Structures are given as C-alpha cells and as structure tokens.
Structure 1
Amino acid sequence: MNVPGAISAIAWQSLLADAIPEERRADALAVRSRVVTAVAFLPTLLGGYVLDALEFPIGYQLVLGVAFASSVAEVRVLMKMREPAAAGQSPSRPMQGETSRARLPRSFMVFCLCTALFYVGWIMGAPLFTLYYVTVLEVGNLWVGAFNVISMVVQYLVFPWWSRLARSRGSVLGLGLATAGMALTPVMIAVSPSPWLVAVFCVSMGVFTSGTTLLLLDSLLDSVPEEGRTSAIAVYNVCVNLASFVGPLVGNAVVDGAGIYWAMAACALLRGIGAASIVGFARSVAQPASGCAQPRSARMASL
C-alpha cells in the first residue's frame, strides 16, 4: 500500500517544483493545502461515525470500499493531465535531464537528514496519541474523528497566515515557531485528563501542524537542485520514509518498557531536537545570503 504512495509523492513534489515559480510558491502551496484539508473534513468525520455505528467488520469494509472507489476516480482524473515539456527539452527524451549523475549538494543531504530526524519524532506521535485516546481517555472512533476534524478546520484557516509570515518575515522564523509547537504537542496530550481538553489542544495542534507541513514542503522545493531534481526528491522521500518506519517502532519500544507518559516525553524530545536541527540548518543557509538577491535554491547548491 505504501509503494504507490511513495511513488506519487515523488511525482507530485517534482511537478510542484516545475510548475510553481519560487516567488509564488508559498501562496500556491497554502492554497493547495487548504483545498486538500477541506476535502478531508467530511470523510474524516463520517468515517469515525460509520465505524462506531456499524458492526465489525462491516464498517471497515464500507469505509475501505469507498476509499478504493475514490482512489480509482482520482487515477482517472490524473491520467487526463498533460505536463508540458520544459524549455529546451526534447519531447522524445523527457527524462534526459534526470539521468545525469550529478552529485547532490552536501547542503541538500544535510537538509534531508535534519528533516528525517524531525520525522522520527513527528510520526512517532501518531500511534501514541491514538493509544492515549483509547487506553487512557477511553474514547471511541467518533471522538478520534472529531479531534482530527478540529485540527483540519484550524489548518484550513491558518494556512494563509503561515504563507504571509514566511513571505514577510522569512521561513526560518516560521519553521522555528511551527516545529517548536509540534514539539510541545505530545506534552499537551499527555496532560489532558479529558477528551474535551484534547479538543481544545487540537486547535493549537492544527496551527503548528499546518505551519510545519507548509514550510517543510516549501523548504524542500526551494532546496532541491535543478539538475537531477526527481532523483533528489526521491532521496528526500527515502530519508523521510525510513524515519517514518523507525518512529513508531521507537514509540512502541518506549511504551512497552516505560509506559505511555515516558513515550510521550521521548516523542517531545525527539521533535524538539529535530526542530532545532532544521532551524539551525535554515539559519546557516539564510545568513550568508543577507543582502543578496540570489534565490535560496541557488544558495543551497553553492554550499
């Protein structure tokens, strides 16, 4: 199931880098993120209700069946898209630029490693939160769906604010605020004795998640080298996917050995370390460019 998702992620990110000019990228990604989030509202809420209302396994079969049908419709729409050939590129050899064995800049590899470190803590939190909801708060699928919807609504509302912040104050400040907030999220959940308090905290979770999602993607598209772009994005996704594989394993090991609250603390710590590494790297890239109009992607390639 993850194989087509991994391939599509590489293709989408490469297409976004080609299709959106750098000066309009933050605003365009904010609009895209709002649309994606808005589309996810209703299925997330209804999915939790259906799973609680119908007997097992009928509810799961119905939800998975609808998801499959939606995926088939999505593939039919995507197959109608036509990507124009890049300037100076022969239509008969569309992948010629991607087959070169250009060495990836060291700065891009550092960015991949910093992001992977943050992802270990980020993805580690998802199963821990669900485990806390079910075993400590003892809530059902409807509550879990409501938590997700609250977060999605807030994300939809604040995506433009993060875009304006990145455009006016720079992405370093935005990344610092968003990732630091993500590091605090496990602490917020762990101190919540009731689902109502979790629902309140979901507001701040949505704010920080939207900023992290938007600005990390923007940073990726800015930092990826022009030559061998698809290969570079593939390397980034490999690092992220490996981190996403390791994160839940680490969380499960800590839960088994020390309990859910220590696992939440470890999750917050890993997110904090990853956030600090990302912001530190972003500052190191931004500082040499003060007073220079050179695009960030060109500065990254020169390091």
Structure 2
Amino acid sequence: MSLSSNEKASIYSGLAQTISINSVNGYIPLLALGVLGASNQQMGLITSLPSIIGMLALIPGAFWLNRAQSKKNFTVITTFSTRFLFMLIFFIPFFSGTLSAWLLVFIIALLNFPGALANLSWQTMIGEIIPEKRRGDFFSTRNRINNIAALIVTFGTGFFLEQYSKDSSFPYQILLLAGFGFALIEVYYLTKHKEEITIKPIEEKPKRKLSLEVFKHKPYTAFLICALLYNFAAQMAWSLFSIYQIKDAGATALWLSIFSVTNQAAQILSIKWWAKYADKYGNTMVLFVAAAGMATAPALNMLSTNLLYITAINFWTGIFVAGTNLLLFNQLLKASPEKNRANYIANYNFLLSFVGFAAPQMGVFILNQAGMHSAMNIISLVRMGAAFSFLVVALKMERKRIANAFHFRFR
C-alpha cells in the first residue's frame, strides 16, 4: 500500500526532527557535566523544570488550539519556536562556568513552553488526519524509520565528539548548528501536511481544557491513571541514569552513543512485534508487558559498571521502550473521543507535566538519601507496581478481546 501525502509528510518531518534532536540531545548531560560543570541538583532541574514550564503552556494551550482554524499552522509556528530556542544553547559556553550551567537549565526549561504547545498541536493534528485503522501500522513504520535514523546519527555524533577534548564546547556548537539546519527541514515538511479546515462560528466559545467533563469518559480516565503512574515511575530514574553512566561507569561521548545505538537497534527490531500483538490482545494488555520490561532496567544497570554490560542492558531496555512509546500514544488517541480531542490530550499533557517535575526530583532525593544502588532498586519496584496497573485495567476493560485472542490461539 502506497503512503498517502499526509503520511509521507509526517515521515519526512519526523525523520528531520529525529536527526535534529539526536544530533545533540543525547549529549546534553555530557555537556552539562563535562563542559559546564553542572551539579546533581542542576542535572535534576534540567530533567524536571521543563515540565513545569510545559504545564504553564498547557493552561492556555488547548484554548488557543481550539480557536485556531489551522492546527497545522499552529504546529509549524510552535515547532519552529522550540527549535530556535534550542539553538541558543550555542552561545552558552561563551559565559563563565558558574553562570553557564544555570543558563543551560534556563534555556532547556524555557524552550518547553512552545515545545509543549507543539507536542499538543501535533498530537491533535495527526490524530485527525491519520485514521484509527491505519495508526498501528503507520506509527510502527514511522517509529522504525526514525529509530534507524537516530541510530546512525547518534553513533556518528558520538564518534565526532570523541575526537575532541571532553571539556571542549566547540563540537557541541557545531552539532547545534547542524541540528538547527535539519529543524528547518522538519518545519518545511510540517507545512506539507493537508488538513480539513472547519470554519467555526464566531459565537462558539471553545471549552477550557480543565473541564471535569473529560474524566467522565471511563476509558480515558483508566488510561490516564495508568499512564501517570507509569510515567512517574519511569521518570524518577532519568537523571540517575545519566549520572551513573558518566560519573560511576566513566562513559565517554562514544560510549553514550553506543548505549543509544544499541537501544535504538532493539527498538527497530521489536517495533513491528509490539504493533502486531497490540492489535491482537489490545494496547493496554501489551502495555503491561512493555512496562514490566522497563521496570527491570534500573536494577539491572546496578549489577555492573562494565560498559559492555551496560550496552547489553540498553539493548534489553530498548525492546520495551519501543512498546511503551508506540502503545502509550496509540492508547491516548484511542481513549480520547474524537470530539474535543485536543481537550483530552491537553489534560493528559497537563497532568504529565506535574509528574515530569516531581518524578526526577524524587529520584534525585532518593539518590541523595540512599545512594545510587538503593535508589535504582527502589525505582525498579515502583516501576513494576505501575506496570501492574495496566494489567488490572486490561483484565477489567478488555477481557473479551483477550479471551478471544487466547481462545483462537489454543483452540
């Protein structure tokens, strides 16, 4: 089946976005720790503070988006603003050491204002132009292509950074410029999407996104509870992984790229499997399997600081990352009614912002109180508990589908 023009535009914009972001995003912790001398507290803020800014953006975000006649144009403007602010990191090394680390924290936080709006508008736009029956196959294909690109770019940039001194800012500045170039390509292909524009009556007042009406839709509420629990548990370890790999295991830029490449390779190899079994057993049931696999990552990382071992664990984790990334988004669209979908997605992202701020701070707090090994083991247990919430919902809401799938398999 040939791809429609919208699907092609989405794949090309996603490809450019992947190249742009992976040119430098994965090395922000190395830039912060190795070049700017960031503290553990600043590392935690780099991870968590953007969520608060994103939350503030979502307060008016759904209102603005509902008023916008073209969701595509809204997505284009906010995406360009996000990428432009990210490029400002280029100038940070020109400032003094103490100030530069705080400037990085500030810019990373600030760019999440348009970034949250861009994410909200893209999710809403793509949910309208890609039919539900095509989403599983299309997004698995799109994600696989993006993962292949991320794999190549990540390894290439890691090798590039390895040619320079660990405390040199020059290679990061080169990558930022290259990333901005691909960001412009991303914006160009976003403009190529075709949407149906509905002219709204002047008297129509868009609903504010914080309406409690969205919580009356049971499939959405069930998904929301599970997704927030999972994201809290998952994001507790984000800063800790970077600190452990760089400070404890002594990973260089090349090793960080190898970790990412093996993780992305696993995603590429497994993405079709997740889409296939989600169609058969339901998103929520398969999300339980993916989330349970993710729960093992923190504890497994603590077994050794050997870089080859950590590489193998990143491959293992990548298998489950592919499932959670694909299925969480698909389930969000499925659980959100088509009418006023922007409100449902905005509520999800708004609440996710609270989680995104609190979870990394909680992770750093546990790290400071209990040490790296205990903190990671605690987080694994919390992650496993969150995974079982998906199982509970699946058994309650998708029993018939699961029973039919297993009956067909074993009859």
TM-score interval, smaller chain: 0.7 to 0.9
For residue 287 of structure 1, report the CA deviation from its aligned partner: 3.3
* Equivalent residue for 1:42, pick from 152, 163, 174: 152
Correspondence 1:172 to 2:284: yes
Unaligned runs of 5+ in 2: 1-110, 405-411
For residue 71 of structure 1, report the CA deviation from its aligned partner: 1.4
Q: 1:247 to 1:96 in 2, by over 3 A?
A: farther
Correspondence 1:263 to 2:375: yes
* Equivalent residue for 2:139, pick from 6, 9, 29: 29
For residue 11 of structure 1, report the CA deviation from its aligned partner: 1.7
Q: Once the two structures are superposed, what CA deviation does each residue of 1:218-257 show, in whole Å capped at 9, x if it has no partner?
A: 1111101222101110111112222122221111111111
Correspondence 1:203 to 2:340: no
Letter in 2 for 1:68: F
SS at match of 1:104: helix
Q: 1:195 to 1:99 in 2, by over 3 A?
A: same
Which residue is 2:130 aligned to?
Answer: 20
Correspondence 1:149 to 2:261: yes
* Equivalent residue for 1:54, pick from 145, 160, 164: 164
**2:154–2:257 Cα contact (<8 Å) kept:** yes
Letter in 1 for 2:151: F
Q: 1:196 to 1:94 in 2, by over 3 A?
A: farther
Which residue is 1:83 aligned to?
Answer: 195
For residue 3 of structure 1, report the CA deviation from its aligned partner: 1.8
**2:281–2:401 Cα contact (<8 Å) kept:** no
Q: 1:142 to 1:59 in 2, by over 3 A?
A: same
For residues 165 and 224 of structure 1, what CA distance do their matches in structure 2 show? 21
Letter in 1 for 2:308: W
Q: 1:287 to 1:65 in 2, by over 3 A?
A: same
For residue 111 of structure 1, report the CA deviation from its aligned partner: 2.2
**1:116–1:243 Cα contact (<8 Å) kept:** yes
For residue 180 of structure 1, report the CA deviation from its aligned partner: 0.3
For residues 34 and 112 of structure 1, what CA distance do their matches in structure 2 show? 26
Q: 1:116 to 1:95 in 2, by over 3 A?
A: farther
Per the normalisation by structure 2, the TM-score is: 0.65
Q: 1:282 to 1:73 in 2, by over 3 A?
A: same
Correspondence 1:2 to 2:109: no
Q: 1:96 to 1:216 in 2, by over 3 A?
A: farther
Q: Once the two structures are superposed, what CA deviation does each residue of 1:126-179 show, in whole Å capped at 9, x if it has no partner?
A: 221121112221121110110011110110111111111111233233112110
* Equivalent residue for 1:283, pick from 385, 395, 407: 395
Correspondence 1:109 to 2:233: no
**1:186–1:264 Cα contact (<8 Å) kept:** yes
Unaligned runs of 5+ in 1: 86-90, 293-303
Which residue is 1:189 aligned to?
Answer: 301
SS at match of 2:251: coil
**1:97–1:227 Cα contact (<8 Å) kept:** no
Q: 1:94 to 1:113 in 2, by over 3 A?
A: farther
Q: 1:98 to 1:28 in 2, by over 3 A?
A: farther
For residues 289 and 155 of structure 1, what CA distance do their matches in structure 2 show? 26
**2:281–2:402 Cα contact (<8 Å) kept:** no
| Runs of 4+ residues over 4 Å off in structure 1 | 94-98, 288-292
Q: 1:34 to 1:114 in 2, by over 3 A?
A: same
For residues 202 and 345 of structure 2, what CA distance do their matches in structure 1 show? 15
**1:98–1:227 Cα contact (<8 Å) kept:** no
For residue 33 of structure 1, report the CA deviation from its aligned partner: 1.1
Which residue is 2:328 aligned to?
Answer: 216
For residue 100 of structure 1, report the CA deviation from its aligned partner: 4.3
Q: Once the two structures are superposed, what CA deviation does each residue of 1:278-302 show, in whole Å capped at 9, x if it has no partner?
A: 332233222377899xxxxxxxxxx
**1:151–1:206 Cα contact (<8 Å) kept:** yes
SS at match of 1:143: helix
For residue 105 of structure 1, report the CA deviation from its aligned partner: 3.6
For residues 274 and 301 of structure 2, what CA distance do their matches in structure 1 show? 24
Percent identity, aligned pairs only, is 29
For residues 263 and 202 of structure 2, what CA distance do their matches in structure 1 show? 39
Which residue is 2:78 aligned to?
Answer: none
RMSD: 2.4
For residues 382 and 328 of structure 2, what CA distance do their matches in structure 1 show? 17
Correspondence 1:92 to 2:92: no
- Using the TM superposition, name which of 210-219 and 272-281 deviates more: 272-281
Letter in 2 for 1:159: I
**2:284–2:393 Cα contact (<8 Å) kept:** no
**2:245–2:251 Cα contact (<8 Å) kept:** yes
Correspondence 1:122 to 2:234: yes
For residue 96 of structure 1, report the CA deviation from its aligned partner: 9.3
**1:172–1:283 Cα contact (<8 Å) kept:** no
* Equivalent residue for 2:271, pick from 151, 154, 159: 159
